[in-house]
Structure 1
Amino acid sequence: MKIGVYYSPKTVATSTLEKPSIKDNEALVKVSYAGICGTDMMIYSGQHPRAKAPLIMGHEFSGTVDEIGEGHDFQKGDRVIVEPILNCGKCAACKAGQIHVCASLKYIGIDKDGGFTEFSSIPVDRLRRLPDNVSDEDAALTEPLAVAIHTVRRSSLKVGDTVAILGAGPIGLLIGLIAKEAGAGDIFISDVSPYRLKVATEMGFTAINDANESIVKEVRSHTRNVGADVVFEVAGNQITADQMIDCIKFQGQIVVVSVYKKAPVVNLAAMHFREISLITTRCYSPDDFTKAIKLLEQKTFDVNPLISHILPLDEFEKGFQLMENPESSLKILFHP
């Protein structure tokens, strides 16, 4: 079968491998679509602490059951989405039902070969059935949609609140969609990519190009210098680490979604005097994943505009090169 392999920093290529065999608790999934995400780009750049080459990356993928043993709820031909979290089941977080903050959390596509391949062996309990009216392409966005749902549910967002989102990548845009669904009033989103900001505008958000404007000034002007009720930081750099504090109102809430490659300097004194709350998020719970599938099934909003490219695995290297340029890419899917 054809596979896309990470070999070393900035080195990926299409290759071939024997079709995997499955164990009793596994299913062989024929991959339909698999998306590149920020974590894959972290691996690609050689900055992920756990991912070891050679590796078949990819944890955002849909597919069809191609082979499965007896005694399971799935059968050959079932359309599925993969929930890629692998938890230990033994630590305090797992015992409390919070498996997404497992002390030794692992991921399909990071700690185990993932979806950038024609076929992938997946634990049966990691499969979710795909509703008939959800396309395979849209289904590949279930995992990042679950991240956005978890993020907004973790926040203190209330109906009518003014929201600022720092970063208009796929996660930032999905957070905007979920915040809007949750009742947010005005939603401001910033980036330096005109392409991504154009998509944000088409989705109904107030898009701010931080290359020549200031989201801090725009938000403060709109709120009579009070600030946003909730700020979602989704870009992961020092500039946005500063902006998240400057954008927020007194007793407002900052939600840090980014996984910083380099620890930022955070002005705690500026937060202290306005009683600002800061929380973090990590991936999603099983319930968030269920809700993501339900929202896709209900056609609550259209996630398809986030898909900028669909490529065959033969263009695996090209996909990562495109993803390095936010001026022309959002969500890139491989179609094995």
Structure 2
Amino acid sequence: MITLSCETPGKFEFKEMILPGPKKGFALLKIRRIGICGTDYHAFEGTQPFFNYPRVLGHEIAAEIAHLENEQEFHIGEKVTINPYFSCGQCIACRNAKPNCCENISVFGVHEDGGMQEYISVPESSLIHGQGLSFDELALVEPLAIGAHGVKLAELKAGEFVLILGAGPIGLGTASLAQIAGGEVIVADYNTNRLDFCRSKLDIAHTINLSETDMHTRLKEITGADMPTVIIDCTGNQEAINGALKFLAHGGKLILIGLQKKEIIISHPEFHKREATLKSSRNALSDDFSHVINCIRKGWIRPLDFISHRVAFERLPENFEKLLNSQQSVIKALVEFG
């Protein structure tokens, strides 16, 4: 089988590998779609935390089952996606039903080789039923689950103003799920195309173009001077994260989905006087995947709207940098396998 490895930052290489053999408790999957996410772009750039090279990228999976030892729950030929966060089941986080932040977590495509190959072998416990979704839709489930987890941590109340920082794929998904949760959503970004997408495809009434508008002034207008009681950062940008507190209402919550390598620096007096809550949101839980699939099946989220670019697996190396450099127009790029 053919595997595509990121050998070093900026360099991909195709390799001929042996097809994984049968392994107790594991399923062999034939890859049909892979979503390209910020983690993959950052790995290619060399800016991804928790990363070593060489590495096979890809954790947004849509596949069909090629082999199973036991077909009781799943069956050969079934469309599936996977939960790509493999946990130990023994550490304190796992014992407290938080396997998404397991002390020994291995994320598929980050800590171990991922899905940019024709076949993969994964634990049967990671399989998620497709429930009638298409391969394109299944490839969007994982990134949407990331947003679902952050929104769940925010514990939104109906009508509560929530500011989403960043209108990349994760930010757009988070905005959709915050809206489903009853939040009055505001999205801020510099990218005009993505803000247009928010209004035209997601029906988000409040957007702030940071290249044209002062955020503090606009937020006061939108919220009646109260400011958002929840801010969810989806940028992974140090400046955005460090500056977010000044836009937060007193008593509010700041949720960090975005990840960057450097220090978080905030004003203690500003944080303290707000009695603010700061939470990191890592990965997602099984319930988040289930919630997303339910939302897609009910038509509350239209993942096909997110797909702006497609590339064949065999053409990915020559096109990857083009996708990276055209982020102004890319919403979600899918890799298609024959």
Query: If the length of structure 1 is used for normalisation, what is the TM-score?
Result: 0.94
Counterpart AA for 2:245: I
Closer, same or farther in 2 for the Cα pair 1:322/1:72, shift >3 Å?
Answer: same
Residue 192 in 1 paired to residue 190 in 2? yes
Structure 1 residue aligned with 2:326: 325
Partner of 1:230: 230
The answer to whether the Cα contact below 8 Å between 2:65 and 2:78 also exists between their aligned partners in 1 is yes
Q: Report matched runs for 1:270-285 at 5 Å.
A: 270-285=270-285
Per-residue CA deviations over 1:121-169 (Å, capped at 9, x if unaligned) read 111111111012x111011011111111111110131101111111001
How many residue pairs match? The answer is 334
Residue 335 of structure 1 is matched in structure 2 by 336
Match of 1:248, as an amino acid?
A: L
Tell me which residue corresponds to 1:16: 16
8 A Cα contact 2:254 2:279, kept in partner: yes
2:123 aligned with 1:142 = no
Go from structure 1 to structure 2 and tell me whether the alpha carbon gap of 1:135 and 1:48 turns closer, same or farther (over 3 Å shift): same
- Tell me the equivalent position of 1:28: 28
Q: Which amino acid letter does the alignment assign opposite residue 24 of structure 1?
A: K
Runs of 4+ in 1 over 4 A off after TM superposition: none
Query: Secondary structure of the residue that 1:51 maps to in structure 2?
Result: coil
Question: 1:13–1:316: 8 Å Cα contact kept in structure 2?
Answer: no
Conserved in 1, the CA contact under 8 Å of 2:230 and 2:252?
A: yes
Distance 2:32 2:321 in 1: 19
Q: Is the Cα–Cα contact under 8 Å of residues 231 and 244 in structure 2 kept in the other structure?
A: yes
1:143-202: CA deviation from partner (whole Å, max 9, x where unpaired): 1111111111101311011111110011111111111111112x2111112221221121
* Aligned match of 2:38: 38
User: Alignment partner of 1:251: what SS?
Assistant: coil
Task: Check 1:311–1:274 CA distance in 2 against 1; reply closer, same or farther (3 A cut).
Answer: same
SS of aligned partner of 2:66: strand
Return the alpha-carbon distance in structure 2 between the equivalents of residues 103 and 7 of structure 1.
27
Identical positions, percent: 27
Query: What is the alpha-carbon distance in structure 1 between the residues aligned to residue 50 and residue 160 of structure 2?
Result: 38
- 1:200 and 1:235, CA in 2 relative to 1: closer, same or farther beyond 3 A? same
CA contact (8 A) 1:2 1:313 kept: no
Q: CA deviation at 1:222?
A: 1.9
Contact 2:49/2:261 (8 A) holds in 1:
no
The answer to whether the 8 Å contact 2:49/2:260 transfers is no
Show CA shifts across 1:198-254 (max 9, x none).
Answer: 211211222222122222221112223221121111112233124421221111111
C-alpha distance in structure 1 between counterparts of 2:265 and 2:326, whole Å? 26
Checking the alignment, whether the CA contact within 8 Å between 1:164 and 1:188 is kept in structure 2 is yes
CA deviation after TM superposition for structure 1 residue 72, in Å: 4.7
Question: What TM-score results when the alignment is normalised by the length of structure 2?
Answer: 0.93
* Structure 1 residues 239 and 210, CA gap change in structure 2 (3 angstroms): farther
Pair 211,149 (structure 1): closer, same or farther in 2 beyond 3 Å: same
Identify the residue that residue 158 of structure 2 maps to in structure 1: 159
Alignment of 1:207-226 (within 5 A): 207-226=207-226
Instruction: State the shift of 1:120 in Å.
Output: 1.0
Q: Distance in 2 between matches of 1:37 and 1:77?
A: 26
Select between 232-241 and 29-38 the one with higher mean Cα deviation.
232-241
Measure the CA separation in 2 of the matches of 1:68 and 1:277.
Answer: 45
SS in 2 for 1:250: coil
Q: Aligned equivalents of 1:279 and 1:49: distance in 2?
A: 19
Shift of the 41–261 alpha-carbon distance from structure 1 to 2, 3 Å rule, reads farther
The CA distance in 2 between the partners of 1:49 and 1:244, in whole Å, is 22
Aligned AA (1:154): L
Aligned AA for 2:323?
Answer: L
Task: Note if contact 2:237-2:259 (Cα within 8 Å) is conserved in structure 1.
Answer: no
Whether 1:57 aligns to 2:68 is: no
Whole-angstrom CA distance in 2 between matches of 1:171 and 1:251: 25
Q: What is the Cα-based RMSD across aligned positions, in Å?
A: 1.7
Q: What residue is the counterpart of 2:316 in the other structure? A: 316
Secondary structure, counterpart of 1:148 in structure 2: helix
Residue 302 of structure 2 aligns with an amino acid whose one-letter code is: D
